[in-house]
Structure formats: structure tokens, C-alpha cells
Amino acid sequence: MTVETTRRAALFAGLGVTGAAGCATTSVAAEYAYGLAPRLTYLNTASLGPTPRSVYERTIAAWREIETNPVRQSYGGGAGALEAEGARQRAAGLFGCDGSELLITRSTTEAMNSIAAGILLERGDRVLTTNHEHHGGEMCWQYLQRKRGVEIDVLRIPLTEHDPAAILNRFDAAITRRTRVISVSHVLTTNGLRMPIAEIAALARARNTLCVVDGAQAIGQIPVDVHELGCHAYAGAGHKWLMGPKGTGFLYVSADAADRIEPMQRQDGPHYVSNSAGMGAVPLVIGLGVAIDEMRARGMSAVEQRILALRERVYRGLASIPRLEVVSPPTGPSASALVAVRLPDDVPARPFQAMLRERHNLVVKRVEDHYFNGIRLSPHIFNTEAEIDFAITTIRNELT
Ligand SMILES: Cc1ncc(COP(=O)(O)O)c(C=O)c1O
């Protein structure tokens, strides 16, 4: 076992991460516990998290069990349906809400689509959002703009504006008499800024507006309590920071907004398999339940602390490279795992990202072109300091 493997195994043990054999101190490396390709340095959980073997082995076993008698296992009181329902209830615990307020979806985007379709917006109604939203959180409103004449106001927040009070003032000034919805990300995909959601939600309530949150980058990375946040709806992903099966997400609607936000699939109640939602991907949701259990066992605060320590190393490392401009907030209450940098104009992000992957087995995210020319790194608990140092040295060397 290499020094690096031993160190990583010790780290996993500290966070309660174990390999398939259930032992964190023998031969557990990230490749083993997670199935990542050997020698791959994966710093892109913000796009998709790797699923631990414990999760996908339960997923595959659940699928096998269902295939022994599909109808009996999957519908109503069947064992598979009951286990998926248990996962949904435990997910509600993770979000700090009641089971009646949470649906399981296929993705954050699907949840955002359902929220938007479930609000009866009319021609001339306005949605206030920002220039930092991901397609998954904005296309639903653009659809309503095209099909129903809903108006969208895009609040332009400078990439390096990190002050929550200044951001709140911008929202305050932009709300109009016709603003029906404020739609905002909890953690911005562009620069990782944690938005002041509780304050934005309070503002929305004071101005009789709905607050809808795209939490794709938050759940599983930082503690989330939707009741404390006070938002009316919250969408999340199971396949990013929770490291659950790909194709899983969440949709929260607060009890007090249930008559204003009515997702169609909830007509028959919040259950994952229901008359109004139809059959679901039961094995995936059973696996998601395992991912949630593992994350809760580690403790969201412990996970957050570990991630923030790693991101600080990423932040400092990238900030020390002269040709890069870090656009993410410095360590502090607005910081998250996502650290993005602007590349020099003569270094286009697309080939640079491809080169890092092909030449160095280093996976980072290329920032979408319409935001800026840059890359984003997003470490999670399975990453090590040595991997981050390798990434920084590699990026530095390639830029000099
Ligand atoms: C802020 C944000 N919203 C939505 C999405 C889309 O997530 P999903 O694939 O779960 O729909 C992403 C993905 O990166 C994201 O960063």
C-alpha cells in the first residue's frame, strides 16, 4: 500500500467512509471505495459525484430483487416500493422538512421544471433571477416566457461581488409589483458563492413573492434546513455532493406554499411510486437512501469542515498562480467547495481542460462559455491534499 493510499484510507476512516469490504484501513483507496479509474484525479463533484461502491452495490442488488417479481416488488406495499419510500422519508430528514413536503425526482432540473409548471403564472407576471443560474434552474422560466408571456428580470451580479448585504440590496431594488417569483441558486455554479438565501427568502415573503431555490450545489455539501431558510420551494440533486446514483433529485415545497406551487406528480401524495407520478427508478432511489444514510452518519458539519479545508488549499494554490484570476470568494461564510478561476485570454478553457484530462488524468470543469473563460475545481471528502497539490502544480506548469 502506498503512503498516499494509507493516508486516504485514514481520512475515509475519520469520515466513516468504508470500502466494499467494510474496512477503511486495509486496501481502501478512492479507486477502490468509489470505482474511479486508477490514477484519475477527480476534482469535479460539482458536476457529478462518484458513487461509493456501497451505494451502487445496494442499487444493483435492489434491481435484482425487483426483477424476481416486478409488480409485487415495485408497486404499493411491495418491498422495493417500501424501501424507496423509506429513502424519501430519510431524505426529508436531511432537508429538515416533513415527509409530506418532499418529492424524489430524476434531477434538480426536473424539480425546477415541476416547480415552474406548478405555479400558475400569467402573461405579465415577472420572475426575478440572476445571471449566475445554471440552465437547469433557468430554462423552466424561459419556457414560460416563450409559451405564456411571463417576463424574466435578470439581476446582474458581478462575478467578484461576494458581499451578501450588497447582493441583498440588489434583490430588494429589483423586485417590482409584478414579481411573483424570485428564483436563485443556493450555491452559484459560476464561482461557488453561497447566496444569502434566508435573507432573500425573508425579503420575498415580506414582498409577497415566492422564493424558489436551486440547491443543486448545496445538498450534501453544506447543512441545509429548508424550514430555517424559509424558502417556498427547493430543488436538489442526489448525484452531486450526496454521491447518490445518477438520475436522482429532490423537490421540496413548503406546506404553507402547497396551494401556490402544485407539482402535477403530487396530486396523489408525495410518494415516489404513485398514481400521479407513475413508476419510478426504484433501485436508484433505494441506492440514494444508502447515500443519504452514509452522509448523515458522517455528519453534514464534519463533511462541510473537511470540504472547506480542502477548498482553502485549492483557493490558495490557484491564487498563487500569476496568470489566473480567482473569482470565488475567499475563505469565510460565503465560500464553498467550488473554486473558479479566469484563464488568460490566450488560453481557451475548452482545450486547456481537455489537455489536463488527456495528458495528466486530471478532471476539472470547464466553465460554460457564456459565463467566462475559466475552469472550476470542486474537491469532496474522497479527495486528498496530495491530489490538490498535484492539480495546482500541473496547472501552474502548464501555464508557464
Ligand atoms: C446550480 C445548478 N443547477 C442545476 C444543475 C443541474 O443539475 P441536474 O443535473 O441535477 O439537473 C446544476 C448542475 O451542475 C447546477 O450547478
> Based on the structure, what is the number of domains in the chain?
2
Average pLDDT, the chain: 93
Query: Containing domain of residue 324, as a range?
Result: 3-51+299-399
- Name the closest-CA residue to atom 13, ligand 1: 47
The pTM assigned to this predicted structure is 0.93
Could you tell me if 159 and 247 lie in one domain? yes
SS3 assignment, position 150: coil
d(CA 299, CA 302): 5
Could you tell me if 42 and 92 lie in one domain? no
For ligand 1, what atom is nearest to the CA of residue 133?
1
Å from CA of 151 to ligand 1 middle = 23
Could you tell me if 157 and 275 lie in one domain? yes
Could you tell me if 175 and 219 lie in one domain? yes
- CATH code of 218's domain: 3.40.640.10
Could you tell me if 34 and 108 lie in one domain? no
Beta bridge partners of 187: 194
Could you tell me if 232 and 373 lie in one domain? no
Could you tell me if 274 and 381 lie in one domain? no
Å from CA of 312 to ligand 1 middle = 23
For ligand 1, what atom is nearest to the CA of residue 47?
14
Q: For the packed helices 300-319 and 385-399, what is the interaxial angle rounded to 10 degrees?
A: 20
Whether the per-residue pLDDT at 14 is higher than 90: the answer is: no
Could you tell me if 258 and 392 lie in one domain? no
d(CA 114, CA 219): 19
Could you tell me if 230 and 354 lie in one domain? no
Could you tell me if 272 and 285 lie in one domain? yes
Instruction: Kindly indicate the confidence band of residue 6, based on its pLDDT and cuts at 50, 70 and 90.
Output: very low
Å from CA of 87 to ligand 1 middle = 21
pLDDT in tens, 350-399: 999 999 999 999 999 999 999 999 999 999 999 999 999 999 999 999 99
- Show the CA angle centred on residue 196, arms to residues 240 and 385, nearest 5°: 45
Å from CA of 110 to ligand 1 middle = 10
Point out the domain boundary residue: 264, 280, 295: 295
pLDDT in tens, 27-74: 345 667 999 999 999 999 999 999 999 999 999 999 999 999 999 899
- CATH code of 359's domain: 3.90.1150.10
pLDDT in tens, 175-210: 999 999 999 999 999 999 999 999 999 999 999 999
Could you tell me if 196 and 341 lie in one domain? no
| pLDDT for position 29 | 55
Pocket of ligand 1 (CB under 6 A): 47, 107-109, 134, 136-137, 185, 189, 214, 216-217, 237, 249
